[in-house]
Structure formats: C-alpha cells, structure tokens
C-alpha cells in the first residue's frame, strides 16, 4: 500500500502513513496523540498485536486483511463521543455496500456478513493538549480468511473475496472518505444523525437475543435496534429496556 496514492485517491484531506508492520496501530496513535495537530490515518500491512473490545485480541494475516486506525480530534469531552463506534460502523457498512458488498451491523461495534464477523471497531481516546479529545478509531476488516487463521480464531468468520481483488489503495481511500464524512457529521450532530441509518443495517433486528456480561446472563429479549444515544433497545417480558455499551456480548439465543 502507498500512502501518497491513498491520499491522491481520497477526497478527505487526511494525512496517511503506511507501515510494513507494527504491534497495534491504535497503540501507536495513542502514543502520538500529544503531538498530533490534524487527523491522521495509520495503516499497517501487518499488525502483530491487534486489540478488540474488552481487551480481546484481533488476529489477522498479512495480505488478507486491512488493519488501520484513524485519529480524529473532537472538541468537548469524552461524553460527546457517546455512540461513536456505532456511527463508525454505519459509515463502514454503507461504504462497503457502495462497493458492492452488503453487510449488517451488530451492537455495539461489529460488522457482519452472512451472520459472521467481518470487521471490528475499537475506539479509544486521549486528551488533547489544546483542549478537546482525540478519538483513535481502529478497524480490522477481513478480506480473505486462510483456513489456518480461522482455526486459530476458533470460530467461523467472514471475508469479502470480491473486495479482496480490489486495489488496496483504492479501497482504503473509499473507506477513509466514508469515515471522514461521517466523523464531521458526528462532530456536528452526534449519534442522533446515525440512529435510523444504523437500524436499517441491524443484522439481528427482531431476533431473540441474550445479553451476557463475563459469561453471565443479564437480560434476554427481542433486539429492537438502538436509540439516539446508541443504546440497544431490548423488548423483554417486563417491557422495553435500554442496554448501554460496556463489556457486554450479544448473541442470538438458540
């Protein structure tokens, strides 16, 4: 991948860096947050210590996935970022659909294809010296899935062979454009501008699901989308409940 080519193909006006290998692009940008002056996209050809939500590992194979992080500054405090992972998921899903690959969303931060996980999103924050907060948005997107990696992951995962044949710089430029447009809208209007769009892409709408926290069942009911704050709406026997983001897994009950 070529940083200059990605920037030339993109309309986002965001600086891009490409490295051959690193542990975690999120960790790298968080470490640089105090020195950043403008948004930056950091792309790794291979990531050796990728992280997912709740401290989980994100495994990838060189040449078979996209692993990158985007640092974006927001004015105000971290409370302004409520729902940001869902807005990012919406932007990524809509971009993939424009490229010919329809996908669905799973609350709070997964992109699904045919019911299996295709991409994950991890948002971490760092205070900006000049005020405001840097959001570091990490994305791992499976393009192809070698059998040995799927065995290492230990569960069925999705891939997008159609997009795997696409020129990587062109694909990344399209994703960057979609993300930048969404982040500018989020900065202005918050997640309320995305809730209806997210609900249209909800992969488990109306499904009976179980909410788990560290393996323990908290609630179960019918998944009914999200509200304007990004909370999951769950229709239970005792009425509609809202579930906030955290160390919570969502699984179809079966």
Residue numbers annotated as active site: 53, 117, 251
Supply the DSSP symbol for 17: E
Query: If you search the block for the tokens 């659909």, which residue do you land on?
Result: 97
How many Cβ atoms from other residues are within 10 Å of residue 41's Cβ?
Answer: 28
Please state whether 225 falls in left (phi above 0), alpha (psi between -120 and 50) or beta. left
DSSP 206-253: T-EEEEEETTEEEEEEEEEEE-TT-PEEEEETTEEEEE-SSS-EEEE-
> Which residues, 6 or more positions from 17, have their beta carbon under 8 angstroms from its beta carbon?
3, 40, 41, 42, 43
The CA distances from residue 211 to 11, 29, 87, 152, 242, in Å, are 40, 32, 21, 26, 11
- The alpha carbon torsion through 18, 21, 27, 31 (nearest 10 deg) reads -70
3-state secondary structure of 178: helix
| Contacts by residues 230-234 (CB-CB < 8 Å, ≥ 24 positions apart) | 230/82, 230/83, 230/85, 230/86, 230/87, 230/108, 230/191, 230/195, 232/107, 232/108, 234/209
3-state secondary structure of 165: coil
């Amino acid at each position: 991948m070529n940083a200059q080519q990605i920037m030339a193909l993109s309309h986002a006006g965001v600086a891009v860096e490409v490295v051959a290998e690193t542990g975690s692009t999120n960790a790298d940008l968080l470490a640089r947050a105090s020195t950043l002056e403008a948004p930056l996209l950091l792309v790794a050809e291979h990531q050796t210590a990728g992280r997912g939500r709740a401290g989980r590992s994100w495994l990838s194979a060189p040449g078979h996935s996209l692993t990158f992080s985007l640092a974006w500054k927001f004015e105000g405090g971290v409370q302004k970022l409520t729902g940001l992972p869902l807005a990012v998921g919406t932007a990524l899903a809509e971009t993939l659909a424009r490229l010919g690959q329809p996908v669905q969303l799973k609350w709070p931060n997964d992109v699904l294809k045919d019911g299996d996980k295709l991409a994950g999103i991890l948002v971490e924050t760092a205070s900006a010296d000049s005020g405001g907060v840097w959001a570091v948005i990490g994305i791992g997107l499976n393009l192809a899935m070698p059998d040995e990696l799927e065995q290492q992951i230990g569960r069925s995962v999705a891939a997008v062979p159609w997009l795997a044949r696409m020129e990587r710089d062109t694909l990344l430029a399209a994703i960057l454009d979609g993300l930048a447009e969404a982040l500018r809208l989020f900065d202005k209007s918050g997640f309320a501008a995305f809730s209806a769009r997210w609900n249209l892409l909800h992969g488990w709408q109306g499904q009976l699901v179980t909410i788990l926290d560290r393996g323990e069942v908290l609630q179960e009911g019918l998944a009914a989308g999200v509200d304007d704050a990004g909370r999951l709406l769950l229709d239970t026997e005792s009425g509609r409940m809202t579930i906030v983001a955290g160390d919570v897994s969502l699984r179809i009950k079966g």
